[in-house]
Structure 1
Amino acid sequence: MRIQNAVTSGTFSLDGGTWEVDNNVWVVGDDHECVIIDAPHDPGPILEVVGDRTVLGILLTHAHDDHIGAALALRDATDAPVHLNAADRMLWDRVHDEAPDAEVADGDRFTVAGADLLALHTPGHSPGSTSYLLAAESTVFTGDTLFKGGPGATGRSFSDFPTIISSIREKLLTLPPETVVRTGHGDSTTIGDEAPHLEEWISRGH
């Protein structure tokens, strides 16, 4: 089992604004098979990491345009199904005319290289935001729900600060403190590093 990272660059647009962003893509698997977590901007760098492996699935953490722009191109290149929580379908439909291939729900499991990725519904940044826990490697892929330094943004449409705090408190900070948090943007962190700051985030959010 190995966890590899590709970074793609492009834009994020919502509510009439557009911002330049760098996105993390995570490729999880072994020498023979893998899954891709998120599909931003440009499929090229992602496919370079995948190589000739079989892609079992494209797992989306949420459907903001900077996380799904390359989803259909990746699907076409790999024949892998695209999985998205149905609560984010309205965001997906702003970007793509075709539907995703499958819905992700809290508690779903995806097996790759003999290990399970567990889907954790962590709404707040968006209604369908989903984290993926790889317990065998003590890591969780949080998309834009939890970053190094605090929660993801909740100042735009379809987001909610109390909801993201509840998701982080109930679904993420309950994980072992050594769990590595691999984010949708920026550097990784650990649950142990972030947990002590929950009350600070809450006071700052209000």
Structure 2
Amino acid sequence: MAEREGIRVDHTTTSGTFSLDGQVHEVDNNVWVVGDDHDCVVVDAPHDVAEIRRLVGRRRVVAILATHAHDDHVRVAPELAAAVGAPVLVHPDDTVLWEMTHPGVEPDGALADGQIVEVAGIALHVLHTPGHAPGAVCFHAPELGVVFTGDTLFAGGPGATGRSYSDHDVIVDSIRRRLLTLPSETVVHTGHGESTTIGEALPLFEH
């Protein structure tokens, strides 16, 4: 858990399934909550509303931010939004993926490259990083020295690109241009698995 003047990053893991291209996989997803004792944002809403609400506690949720719209990252987003009274924000390039999980239900708002989401006095900078999904984004909190990468960058390499709406060359380009240019000590909080740092990721993309 990272802290700065009352700001903290809380974490939990929820379990469920990921479905795309006619295949279903069991997955464990990270959920990240950023804020102070009063206000917070939720990064991704995978499988379990009750567990996410436990992590949030009594805080006001400013927004539910989707790193991308694969079903294992947004499955309970509308339910969570209704429970906590917060908007769900998704990059519009992921509309096709969102509609697969939530047909007829639109997100409450859009994310855009360069947008700043403010919570508890700090800024989360939206970085559009397509490749794993067309509307994949990362959230960089420079004041905390962290970036939330969803399934764009993992400990060990880039996210998967073997399914529909993904592209290996595009994700590598996104990582090189948008993430590897961040300070090397930046902690990378991922959508699945362990966290890493930008410095640890750099050698993986030297060739």
Q: TM-score range by the shorter chain?
A: over 0.9
Q: TM-score, normalised by structure 2?
A: 0.96
Aligned counterparts of 1:4 and 1:14: Cα–Cα separation in 2: 29
Instruction: State which of 24, 46, 49 in structure 1 corresponds to 2:52.
Output: 46
Aligned counterparts of 2:204 and 2:101: Cα–Cα separation in 1: 35
Deviations 1:120-141 (A, max 9, x none): 0000000000000000000000
RMSD: 0.6
| Match in the other structure for 1:162 | 169
Aligned counterparts of 2:49 and 2:114: Cα–Cα separation in 1: 28
Q: 1:99: Cα distance to partner?
A: 0.1
Structure 1 stretch 180-189 or stretch 191-200: which is displaced more? 191-200
Structure 1 stretch 182-191 or stretch 93-102: which is displaced more? 93-102
Say yes or no: does 1:75 pair with 2:81.
yes
Look up the equivalent residue of 1:131 and give its one-letter code: C
Q: 1:113: Cα distance to partner?
A: 1.0
Deviations 1:125-182 (A, max 9, x none): 0000000000000000000000000000000000000000000000000000000000
Look up the equivalent residue of 2:105 and give its one-letter code: E
Instruction: State which of 105, 111, 118 in structure 2 corresponds to 1:104.
Output: 111
Aligned counterparts of 2:191 and 2:97: Cα–Cα separation in 1: 17
| Match in the other structure for 2:155 | 148
Instruction: State which of 179, 192, 195 in structure 2 corresponds to 1:185.
Output: 192
Q: How does 1:107-122 map to 2 (within 5 A)?
A: 107-122=114-129
Aligned counterparts of 1:44 and 1:129: Cα–Cα separation in 2: 25
Look up the equivalent residue of 2:131 and give its one-letter code: G
Structure 2 portions without partners, runs of 5+: 1-6
Aligned counterparts of 2:12 and 2:88: Cα–Cα separation in 1: 18
Look up the equivalent residue of 2:168 and give its one-letter code: F
Give the % identical residues.
57
Write out the 4+ residue segments of structure 1 that deviate beyond 4 Å after TM superposition: none
Q: 1:199: Cα distance to partner?
A: 3.3
Name the SS for the 1:137 alignment partner: coil
Structure 1 portions without partners, runs of 5+: 201-206
| Match in the other structure for 2:4 | none
Q: 1:196: Cα distance to partner?
A: 1.1
Say yes or no: does 1:37 pair with 2:43.
yes
Aligned counterparts of 1:197 and 1:167: Cα–Cα separation in 2: 14
Q: 1:39: Cα distance to partner?
A: 0.5
Instruction: State which of 84, 87, 98 in structure 1 corresponds to 2:90.
Output: 84
Say yes or no: does 1:126 pair with 2:133.
yes
Aligned counterparts of 2:79 and 2:121: Cα–Cα separation in 1: 27
Instruction: State which of 169, 173, 176 in structure 1 corresponds to 2:180.
Output: 173
Q: How does 1:188-203 map to 2 (within 5 A)?
A: 188-199=195-206
Q: 1:197: Cα distance to partner?
A: 1.3
Aligned counterparts of 2:18 and 2:206: Cα–Cα separation in 1: 29
Aligned counterparts of 2:172 and 2:130: Cα–Cα separation in 1: 9
Name the SS for the 2:33 alignment partner: strand
Alignment: residue pair count: 200
